[in-house]
Structure 1
Amino acid sequence: MTGTATATLLRAFNTNKTSWAGLIVLLTVVALAALAPWIAPHDPIEQDIFARLEGPSALYPLGTDQFGRCILSRLLHGARYSLFIGIASTLAAMLVGSLIGMLAGWYGGRFDVVVMQAMDVLLAFPALILGLILVAMLGPTLPNIILAIAATSVPAFARIARAPTIAVKEREYVEACRALGYSDARILFLHILPNIFAEILVMSSLWLASAIRTEASLAFIGLGLRPPIPTWGGMIREGFENILDSYWLAMAPGVAILVVVFALNLLGDGLRDAVDPKLKGES
């Protein structure tokens, strides 16, 4: 099963070769973030008032900000926070939302109606507005930001997990499991989840990009991690005040977000092709 899934994924990636570009770029960014303490040329919070607002140079490849801090160093360290928040919030949303969707699809009836109507209410709020409300209520700390961003993604994962669960639960092998007296939990996690996980994985790659954008947006309006902690959204906010004179302050983190989001979308296209029934039919 694992070998077949891997072969299907590789075939999809080879068909849509831009997916390889997305994967390579994403892995490169993750590696740079992981190695930031060793490869960053300066301390990201060290200030040099005599070097404030310097343009790109040999000493400061991406220039310095209004406090004389190295933009490249802050960009590398900021990737650690921005990626961690995005990945943690997406994983949390995937776990909670998928469980809710599977339970709603499995039990159906009034439980399904009530749960999915609650998800529709959450979906009615734009992700940024809902995240803004939650962070403003809870406070801009790392756990609260992760919780707020995850809450904006839970309804989407619930809907993605519910539909295939309804389809899979009618198949013969699930009926056989019921006849053998297997518990609902065993059927859901051992027999249904493996068959719907591909759709959930595709969704997670696309919503990871959304989570990174939401974190940057929250930081830009002042609801991100408190300075001097570097995040990409916070760096854009700090650089916006000097955008006309020192464009590199906001441009560097802006380009970083653009590159990561674009890479995730390319990767999501490849994953989607791998689970596309039409593609499987052609193989």
Structure 2
Amino acid sequence: MRKIAKLGQAARHHGQLVIRAFNSNKASWVGFVLIVLSAILAPWIAPHDPAEQFMEARLAQPSAKFLLGTDDLGRDILSRLLYGGRLSLTVGIVSTLIAVFFGSIIGALAGFYGGLFELLVMQTMDVLLAFPSLILGLVIVAMLGPGLTNLTVAIAITSVPAFARNARAPTLIIREREFILAGRTLGYRDARLIVRHILPNIAPDILVLTSMLVGTSIRVESSFAFIGLGLPPPTPTWGLMIRSGFENILDSPWLVLWPSVALLICVFSLNLLGDGLRDAIDPKLRGEA
């Protein structure tokens, strides 16, 4: 019981340090608030239905009724931006979580067992990393076909090698530590050592990379939509809005401007969030080392 109490106190102390360090980076909270507003609160703060058409107000300039104007079908741009952010974040977060799960396991297994298995696995990851993420994603989407599920899977596959390499490096160090050697001496199975000891110790590095790659996944999803391999219209996505806005860019530049700015703010906010997580997790930046 005393040991459990001490562990609980240590966990609370660590949590307080993380929160205090995270609060010291105010910019990270700005990113978090922007993400919440665009994803969770879209149904409540959107002034109109994103699919509702006001044909009498086609290509209307920003006004009191339409704060950011309307598109060529009379749809409110602000509403479509908010719902587009909701969809983009869903695709980005889900695809990144899939990549985290498989990439972390692959990297941890390669680092834990080493030898020929590590060589084969990491060379396969290097081959995938040799292709730009957008090109590799295009090939996968072209093979699987358009659709939300296929798009999410394609983006996840492009992120797996990064997580595998990120998980392998610290695993090579952790596998030689005393508690891993003690576990092997006690006869613990490899699965237990990996799940209960390796993965929790490499989680901080993976968490920071996760926040960064969510933004990358959103950018890739928008790129797919821009070239016609994303979700079909009239689904509101930032990439599709940018693509359709190019047809009237000279007369109505706001059609391209606003979704581009929204994409920039979202990715920048996620990078700020990643910086906050890094500052909170790294003991050197917290002043503990």
- TM-score where L is the length of structure 2: 0.92
SS at match of 1:278: coil
Alignment size in residue pairs: 280
RMSD: 1.5
Does the CA contact (< 8 Å) of 2:167 and 2:206 recur in 1?
yes
Q: Distance in 2 between matches of 1:268 and 1:154?
A: 18
Partner in structure 2 of residue 232 of structure 1: 238
Residue equivalent to 1:3: 12
Q: Look up the equivalent residue of 1:22 and give its one-letter code.
A: G
Task: Give the C-alpha shift of residue 90 in structure 1.
Answer: 0.4
Q: Determine whether 1:28 maps to 2:28.
A: no
Residue ranges of structure 2 left out of the alignment (5+ in a row): 1-9
Q: Which residue of 1 aligns with 2:83?
A: 77
> Would the alpha carbon gap of residues 39 and 189 (structure 1) be closer, same or farther in structure 2, given more than 3 Å must change?
same
Structure-to-structure mapping, 1:173-252, within 5 angstroms: 173-252=179-258
The CA deviation at 1:277 is 4.5
Distance 1:36 1:212, change over 3 A: same
* Cα deviation 1:16-46 (Å, max 9, x = unaligned): 33223323333333xxx32323332222112
Give 2:51's match in structure 1, choosing from 45, 51, 63: 45
Inter-CA distance 37–26: structure 2 relative to 1 (3 Å threshold)? closer
Whether 2:269 is the aligned partner of 1:260: answer no
- Aligned position for 1:142: 148
1:165 counterpart (160, 165, 171): 171
Q: Could you tell me how far apart the structure 1 residues matched to 2:201 and 2:40 are?
A: 33
Name the counterpart of 1:63. 69
Q: TM-score, normalised by structure 1?
A: 0.94
CA distance in 1 between partners of 2:74 and 2:23 (Å): 46
Cα shift at 1:106: 0.6
Q: Unaligned 5+ residue runs, structure 1?
A: none
Between the aligned partners of 1:25 and 1:48, the Cα distance in structure 2 is 28
Distance change in 2, residues 1:5/1:245 (3 Å): farther
The list of structure 1 runs, each at least 4 consecutive aligned residues, that deviate by more than 6 angstroms after superposition, is none
Q: Percent identity?
A: 62
Does the CA contact (< 8 Å) of 2:21 and 2:286 recur in 1? no
CA shift, 1:280, in A, is 4.8
